[in-house]
Amino acid sequence: MLPSSRKAACGLWATSQRCPSGSEKYPEYPPQKTFSAAFDEPTTGLDPITADAINDLILEQVRSLGAAAVSITHDMPSARKIADEIAMLFEGKIIWRGPASDIDHSGNEYVDQFVHGRASGPIQPAM
């Protein structure tokens, strides 16, 4: 386990919540803990080596805690490494969701433009 200060430094803020167990009715199902973590641009501004170390840290902690995690990022190498599923938001709506392994051939022109970093396409920067 990492000390809290190290987790906070990389944007790992974990929360736990007791889940109802129904122990009176179903004593064979003891109370459980559910862990969740949220990451907001955990690798932004980092060099590629440090970014990969942060990705490894996220994977290690999420797996060891059995956590459900959400990462908000534009760093596609990071998303590919740490995600099981990826969703893309555009104008406040989810326009694509699928396995991380499908992101490079999503069939969605918005996703393809973003993933490949092309200036031309349906997404136009506000200038």
Q: Is 47 found in the same domain as 5?
A: yes
For 38-92, how does the pLDDT look when each residue is reduced to its tens digit (9 = 90+)?
999 999 999 999 999 999 999 999 999 888 899 999 999 999 999 999 999 999 9
Q: Is 100 found in the same domain as 45?
A: no
What pLDDT, on a 0 to 100 scale, did the predictor assign at position 37? 86
Q: Is 77 found in the same domain as 16?
A: yes
Residues 3 and 28: beta-carbon distance below 8 Å? no
Q: Is 2 found in the same domain as 46?
A: yes
pLDDT band for 36, please (50, 70, 90 cuts).
confident
Q: Domain range for residue 49?
A: 1-20+28-83
What pLDDT, on a 0 to 100 scale, did the predictor assign at position 78? 95
What pLDDT, on a 0 to 100 scale, did the predictor assign at position 51? 96
pLDDT(24) > 70: no
Query: Domain tally for the chain?
Result: 2
For 108-122, how does the pLDDT look when each residue is reduced to its tens digit (9 = 90+)?
999 999 999 999 999
Q: Is 50 found in the same domain as 64?
A: yes
Q: Is 71 found in the same domain as 119?
A: no
How distant, in Å, are the alpha carbons of 4, 58, 72, 80, 113 from that of 51? Answer: 19, 11, 14, 13, 23
How distant, in Å, are the alpha carbons of 27, 45, 61, 105, 114 from that of 119? Answer: 58, 21, 36, 18, 9
7: nearest Cα among 81, 61, 64: 61
pTM, entire model = 0.69
What pLDDT, on a 0 to 100 scale, did the predictor assign at position 90? 94
